């Protein structure tokens, strides 16, 4: 099953890359192709931006501004946009590549339906149009790639390494949980994805909780030492210069 998904993903990625090159050449030739391609881009842009939004929500990334519905830009291009706040490398990677994974997933389902025996040809034609529109907008934009680069530059290497370790552990745990308990909510890859997110944040916040607890213990010990030290200093100052009678010998 995983091999099939990988093959579909690579095939979709290859076709989408070729379509992007073809559309760039066609848009330069005539206005007819520009208007025709706009109609092809419409649904793909919506899926592209919704994928960014959903992944921002799942990764706790702050969304500042959303423009999911396609609008015509200054140069006549059709586009949407989502602005997010400061991100770490893990968030930037998932949010930027979300259209690639979500789009491939949708196209995979469309292909399964089209080649099934119980296919409805009217629905199949509509789904083919949706699949082509998604293919046009599947590749991450230049802004998406730049966001990954900015996050990689601003996030500390130590923190990025910790994130990679947590992700690896979360994926491993999720994989063995699926195998041992035969869990599959809707689909194998979707189950793996959501379980990985669950274990990632579970491990992350468990570690943060332990760190906070040890920090509180260190602070309380430090305060106890300071109180003992101040108490000793006060007693020494108070007893300085006094004469004590010798203790009685019993």
Within this chain, do residues 26 and 120 fall inside the same structural domain, yes or no?
Answer: yes
Question: In whole angstroms, what separates CA 130 from the centre of its chain?
Answer: 25
Q: In which domain, by residue range, is 114 found?
A: 1-155
Residue 89 lies in a domain: yes
Let me know how long the chain is. 250
Would you call 88 helix, strand, or coil by DSSP? Answer: coil
Residues 6+ apart with CB under 8 A from 177: 183, 195
Q: Say whether both 14 and 129 belong to one domain.
A: yes
Question: Can you give the pLDDT at residue 226?
Answer: 63
Average pLDDT over residues 46-73: 85
Residue 180 included in any domain: yes
User: How confident is residue 32, by pLDDT bands cut at 50, 70 and 90?
Assistant: low
> Are 83 and 113 contained in the same domain?
yes
Same domain, 79 and 147: yes
Candidates 13, 12, 99, 89; CA nearest to 53 is 99
* End residue of a domain, out of 134, 155, 176: 155
**Same structural domain for residues 145 and 169?**
no
User: Does pLDDT of 175 surpass 50?
Assistant: yes
Tokens at 28, concatenated: 């330069």
Mean pLDDT of 191-219: 87
Highest mean pLDDT of the ranges 94-98, 187-191, 231-235: 94-98
Tell me if 234 is assigned to some domain.
Answer: no
The percent helix, strand, coil of the chain (3-state, each to 5) is: 75, 5, 20
**120 and 173 part of one domain:** no
Residue 180 pLDDT grade (very low, low, confident, very high; cuts 50, 70, 90) = confident
Q: Are residues 136 and 161 in the same domain?
A: no
Model pTM score: 0.69
pLDDT at residue number 161: 82
Residue 150 and residue 218 in one domain: no
């Amino acid at each position: 099953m995983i091999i099939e998904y990988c093959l579909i993903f690579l095939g979709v990625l290859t076709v989408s890359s070729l379509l992007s090159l073809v559309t760039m050449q066609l848009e330069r030739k005539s206005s007819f192709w520009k208007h025709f391609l706009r109609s092809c881009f419409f649904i793909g842009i919506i899926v592209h931006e919704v994928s960014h939004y959903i992944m921002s929500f799942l990764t706790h990334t702050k969304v500042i501004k959303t423009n999911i519905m396609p609008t015509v830009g200054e140069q006549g291009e059709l586009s949407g946009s989502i602005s997010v706040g400061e991100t770490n490398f893990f968030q930037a990677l998932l949010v930027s590549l979300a259209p690639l994974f979500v789009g491939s997933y949708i196209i995979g389902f469309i292909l399964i339906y089209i080649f099934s025996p119980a296919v409805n040809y009217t629905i199949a034609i509509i789904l083919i149009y949706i699949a082509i529109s998604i293919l046009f907008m599947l590749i991450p934009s230049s802004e998406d790639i730049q966001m990954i680069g900015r996050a990689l530059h601003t996030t500390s290497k130590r923190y990025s390494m910790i994130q990679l370790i947590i992700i690896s552990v979360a994926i491993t745990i999720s994989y063995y949980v699926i195998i041992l308990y035969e869990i599959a909510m809707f689909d194998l890859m979707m189950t793996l994805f959501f379980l990985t997110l669950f274990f990632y944040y579970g491990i992350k916040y468990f570690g943060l909780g332990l760190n906070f607890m040890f920090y509180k213990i260190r602070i309380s010990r430090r305060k106890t030492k300071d109180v003992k030290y101040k108490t000793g200093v006060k007693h020494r100052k108070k007893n300085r210069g006094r004469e004590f009678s010798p203790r009685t010998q019993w």
